[in-house]
Amino acid sequence: MTAVVALGGNALMRPGERGTAAEQLANLRRAVAALEPLLDDDGLVITHGNGPQVGNELIRQERAADEAPPLPLWLAVAQTQAEIGALIAAELRPAVDRDVACVLTHVRVAPDDPAFDRPTKPIGPFYSSAQAEQLQRERGWTMNEDANRGYRRVVPSPEPLDVIELPAVRSLVAAGAIVIACGGGGIPVVRRGGRLTGIDAVIDKDRASALLARGLGSDRLVILTEVPALYADFGTPDQREVRELSTHDAEHLLPSLAEGSMRPKVAAGVAFGRETLITNFEALGDALAGRAGTRIVGGVTGA
Amino acid sequence: MTAVVALGGNALMRPGERGTAAEQLANLRRAVAALEPLLDDDGLVITHGNGPQVGNELIRQERAADEAPPLPLWLAVAQTQAEIGALIAAELRPAVDRDVACVLTHVRVAPDDPAFDRPTKPIGPFYSSAQAEQLQRERGWTMNEDANRGYRRVVPSPEPLDVIELPAVRSLVAAGAIVIACGGGGIPVVRRGGRLTGIDAVIDKDRASALLARGLGSDRLVILTEVPALYADFGTPDQREVRELSTHDAEHLLPSLAEGSMRPKVAAGVAFGRETLITNFEALGDALAGRAGTRIVGGVTGA
């Protein structure tokens, strides 16, 4: 059995935390303990989000801008791959008998992806109206007003097309290592004149994980999130966990799902096309045994 | 022929530059052009320093400390591996027909290395006397006065003992990739109770490169620096480039060399024990042909 396991934000940071190294290590210790049933899988690749970490890094870049030049977003994504990769490796190594390696991962997107005309993903710190206007003018950022908290930069979230380091991940998996890859959805790059050029965007980490799992020919994609499963009739007296969905039914369900929440996870399962398990750490053991979580399976029939 | 090539700081940043992504990419474009004679080597691993980049990152961490928690130095080193790895990959890929992969690299040091009792390596921003006193008290940092520029944190520079990701680098080289590894000398870790724990130190990148080259069984270590070669009788009318040294003679020369400059490079050649070439980008072509640079060769006879 080979698997790609996508860690959600709660594997690294819990409500009220600021994201110190010590907090993230303590959370990852619990996460690794929950992953125990998967750690013996022949091929195991771990992916992860980076929302709060890249937010912190962008705050750092801005606050020091007069003294240390701010790096572009795509390099801040790279930085979080290393930060989080080193933290995951620190907690994973004592739990396994094999090598752990983190590969810096670039993911190619199309320069004409419609997402570039419609930036939707808020990132980084909040700004005042005057600051927002200045950043829009001086750096060409798109700024959106976010409820009552101020203005925030929004960036495109284009569709991932290619995991550039797929051969490297495949070689390391074949050599028996657990690989950490595709952090934060990967460093977004576009192909321009024979080059892969970094571009300021944020790729959905579940979609990137599905692309990686497909490229590796993995048997299973496990998406770990806050809730134990997808719910049908959510918020009504009939609310119940969805135990199994065909990819066909999952695809039809997509428009009814929350855009920033379950939709990209179910879409990732549809894109992967093989067994996809959506659950949380607490329910993972039961979900692997078919008693919890939501399983998306290939074919047209489902529960 | 297999080689480990260690890039010096000038491959990434030139005097007067601040280290923007655009500056670093432009410098790397020139560096990659100079590396052309080595790009077809069967096994090629590129290592690099991170002095100015980790300095910039530490400034960012400090300046945003009230809003985004500062990460420990070992994670800042990790961040610079990703920043610089992504920049090198961007310029290297268009110049080669094979995969390029950057592996996050940890390097083990001994917790009782005498360097921990005598921190010598200055890093990060300059502080006032009052700030320095506070940082010493609150964070346990060792602060040294640096000429007239203020106070600066100094950290230990312990001897590298193990490249943790050596098997991963070896697998990727065997698969034909050019590997970027050991950036900034590697993320320093110590073994404690079955764990590899990050520790705040900076490992000399040339020493780490020698350890990696030895572990990989490389034929050659190329150390690229500011000057074309090591000089004998430097600053006298007899000043001349040293063309070749045996490891035996190189070892005897060590105490006479400048600690922060040529000494670690020659020490790296001695530690590697096979052919080591110390030169700069301009002289690299001639140095590979034996007409420039300083070559350290195994055995006891030298020029």
The pLDDT value recorded for residue B272 is 97
Closest residue by Cα to residue B9 from B31, B33, B35, B29:
B31
pLDDT tens, B21-67?
999 999 999 999 999 999 988 899 999 999 999 999 999 999 999 99
How do A294-297 and B142-145 pair as beta strands? unpaired
Cβ contacts of A83 on chain B, cutoff 8 Å: 71, 75, 78-79
Cross-chain residue pair B83–A71, CB shorter than 8 Å: yes
8 Å CB contact between A11 and A28: yes
Q: Give the neighbor-by-neighbor strand order of the sheet with B220-224.
A: B100-102, B178-180, B43-48, B2-7, B220-224, B275-279, B294-297, B244-246
Cross-chain residue pair A59–B67, CB shorter than 8 Å: yes
pLDDT higher at B258 or A63: A63
Partner residue opposite A81 with nearest CB, options B19, B82, B172: B82
The pLDDT value recorded for residue B92 is 97
B303 pLDDT above the threshold of 60: no
How much is the average pLDDT of B69-96?
Answer: 97
User: CA-nearest residue of chain B to A177?
Assistant: B168
8 Å CB contact between B213 and B235: no
Closest-CA distance, A146 to chain B, in angstroms, reads 19
Question: Confidence band (pLDDT; 50, 70, 90) for B301?
Answer: very low
The pLDDT value recorded for residue B293 is 97
The pLDDT value recorded for residue A137 is 94
8 Å CB contact between B196 and B68: no
Chain B residues 86-115 with a CB less than 8 Å from chain A: 86-87, 89-90, 93-94, 99, 101-104, 106
Closest-CA distance, A169 to chain B, in angstroms, reads 9
Q: Name the β-bridge partners of A162.
A: A108
pLDDT tens, B252-281?
999 988 877 899 999 999 999 999 999 999
Q: Name the β-bridge partners of B246.
A: B297
pLDDT tens, B209-225?
999 999 999 999 999 99
pLDDT tens, A221-274?
999 999 999 998 888 899 999 999 999 999 999 998 887 789 999 999 999 999
Q: Tokens 């006193």, residue?
A: B133
Q: Give the neighbor-by-neighbor strand order of the sheet with A187-192.
A: A162-163, A106-108, A187-192, A195-198
A132 pLDDT above the threshold of 70: yes
Q: What is the mean pLDDT of chain A?
A: 94
pLDDT tens, A8-24?
988 999 988 999 999 99
Is A148 noted as a catalytic residue in this protein?
no
Q: Which two tokens stand for residue A213?
A: 């799992």
What is the dihedral sign for C-alpha B64, B203, B157, B14?
negative
pLDDT tens, B92-137?
999 999 999 999 999 999 999 999 999 999 888 889 999 999 999 9
Chain B residues 135-174 with a CB less than 8 Å from chain A: 165, 167-168, 171-172, 174
Q: Which two tokens stand for residue A21?
A: 């190294």
How much is the average pLDDT of A195-202?
Answer: 96
A301 pLDDT above the threshold of 60: no
The pLDDT value recorded for residue B299 is 60
8 Å CB contact between A292 and A241: yes
Residue % of chain A over a pLDDT of 70: 98
Q: Tokens 């600066």, residue?
A: B152
How much is the average pLDDT of B124-153?
Answer: 89
pTM of the model: 0.96
- Secondary structure (3-state) at A121: strand
The pLDDT value recorded for residue A281 is 95
Question: Confidence band (pLDDT; 50, 70, 90) for A1?
Answer: confident
Question: Confidence band (pLDDT; 50, 70, 90) for A299?
Answer: low
Residue % of chain B over a pLDDT of 90: 84
B300 pLDDT above the threshold of 60: no
8 Å CB contact between A234 and A247: no
8 Å CB contact between A173 and A45: yes
Closest-CA distance, B253 to chain A, in angstroms, reads 38
Distance CA(B152)–CA(A45), nearest Å, equals 41
Distance CA(A55)–CA(A76), nearest Å, equals 9
Q: Choose the catalytic residue: B8, B198, B205, B269.
A: B205
ipTM: 0.95
Q: Which of A60, A103, A166, A180 to mutate to test the interface with B (most CBs of B within 10 A)?
A: A60
8 Å CB contact between A216 and A4: yes
